Chain A
Amino acid sequence: MSFAIQPHLSVPQIMHRVSLALIPALLAYTWIFGWGVVLNVLLAVATALAVEALLLKIRHKPFKAPFGDGSAILTALLLCMALPPLLPWWVVVIGSAIAILLGKQLYGGLGFNPFNPAMVGYVVLLISFPREMSLWMAPIGGEHSLSLLDTLRYVFTEQLPAAVGGIDAYTMATPLDALKTGLGLEQAMGEIMAMPMFGYLGGSGWEIINALILLGGLWMLYTRLITWHVPVAMLGTLFLIAGIFHLIDPQSYASPVFHIVTGGALLGAFFIATDPVSGATSLRGQLIFGAGVGLFTYIIRTWGGYPDGVAFSILLMNMAAPTIDYYTRPRVFGHKGDQG
Chain B
Amino acid sequence: MSAEAPYSKIAGDGLWYNNVALVQVLGLCPLLAVTSTAVNGIGLGLATMLVLLGSNVTVSLIRHLVRPEVRIPVYVVIIASFVTAVELGMHAWFHDLYLVLGIFIPLIVTNCSILGRAESFASKNSVPRAMVDALTMGFGFLVVLFVLGAMREMIGFGTLFAQANLMFGEAFSWLTITLVEDYSGFLLAVLPPGAFIGLGMLIALKNVVDARQEKRRKAAAPVEHTAPEQA
The answer to whether A and B interact is: yes
Q: Which residues of B contact A127 (CB under 8 A)?
A: 187-188, 191, 193
Majority-rule SS of A interface residues? helix
Q: How far is the CA of A222 from the CA of B186 in the complex (A)?
A: 42
B187 — nearest CB in chain A belongs to which residue? A128
CB of A54 within 8 Å of the partner chain: no
Q: How far is the CB of A312 from chain B (nearest CB, A)?
A: 13
Q: How far is the CA of A102 from the CA of B184 in the complex (A)?
A: 22
Q: How far is the CA of A131 from the CA of B186 in the complex (A)?
A: 11
B186 — nearest CB in chain A belongs to which residue? A128
Q: How far is the CA of A124 from the CA of B184 in the complex (A)?
A: 15
Q: Are the CB atoms of B197 and A102 closer together than 8 Å?
A: yes
Q: How far is the CB of B161 from chain A (nearest CB, A)?
A: 22
Among B187, B191, B197, the residue within 8 A (CB) of A129 is B187
Q: How far is the CB of B209 from chain A (nearest CB, A)?
A: 15
Q: Which residues of A contact B191 (CB under 8 A)?
A: 127
Q: Are the CB atoms of B188 and A131 closer together than 8 Å?
A: no
Q: How far is the CA of A192 from the CA of B55 in the complex (A)?
A: 64
Q: Which residues of B contact A340 (CB under 8 A)?
A: none
Q: How far is the CA of A59 from the CA of B187 in the complex (A)?
A: 29
Q: Interface code A30-56, partner B: CB below 8 Å = 1, 0 otherwise?
A: 000000000000000000000000000
Q: How far is the CB of A216 from chain B (nearest CB, A)?
A: 31
Residues in A124-169 with C-beta less than 8 Å from chain B:
124, 127-132
Q: Which residues of B contact A128 (CB under 8 A)?
A: 185-189
Q: Are the CB atoms of A130 and B187 closer together than 8 Å?
A: yes
Q: How far is the CB of A95 from chain B (nearest CB, A)?
A: 11
B201 — nearest CB in chain A belongs to which residue? A106
Q: How far is the CA of A20 from the CA of B136 in the complex (A)?
A: 58
Q: Which residues of A contact B197 (CB under 8 A)?
A: 102
Write the residues of chain A forming the contact surface with B, with a CB cutoff of 8 angstroms: 94, 102, 124, 127-132
Write the residues of chain B forming the contact surface with A, with a CB cutoff of 8 angstroms: 184-189, 191, 193, 197
